Amino acid sequence: MVGIEKDDRVVCRTPTPGKKGITRIPSWKFDCIKLAILACLQETQIPFAELTDTVRKCLSSEELNNMGSLGWHVATVKLELEVRGEIRRLPQKGKQIIEIVE
């Protein structure tokens, strides 16, 4: 994980129509958070407001120490997973609830 090449990055996009731009994050960060999000969503739907705390419980102390802003990375990876069709937002008003696409 630590010591990965600097250029080993994943492009993250947003599913929001009209919003352009991409963010590149280290692939080890993307992979850690992606696996944690998908593992958390295997059992249940999760409100977006609780996602960062839920993901935190799935990461090792070394990963957390090297992650930087966990909330920012979780939001960035979540958006890319939506673009890829791996997770989705439930169509409802109020709290954003996400679930895995099966």
3 falls within a domain: no
81 falls within a domain: yes
Helix (H, G, I), strand (E, B) or coil at 23: strand
pTM: 0.90
79 falls within a domain: yes
pLDDT digits (tens, 9 = 90+) for 12-58: 999 988 888 899 999 999 999 999 999 999 989 999 999 999 999 99
| Domains in the chain, number | 1
71 falls within a domain: yes
Nearest alpha carbon to residue 74 among 15, 34, 24: 34
pLDDT digits (tens, 9 = 90+) for 55-99: 999 999 999 999 999 999 999 999 999 999 999 999 888 899 999
27 falls within a domain: yes
Check: CB of residue 74 under 8 Å from CB of residue 33. yes
Please report, for the domain that includes residue 48, its CATH number: 1.10.10
Q: Which domain holds residue 89?
A: 9-100
Alpha-carbon 81 to chain mean position: 7
Phi-psi region of 21 (alpha: psi -120 to 50; beta: other; left: phi over 0): left
Please report, in angstroms and rounded to a whole number, the separation of the first and last CA atoms in the chain.
29
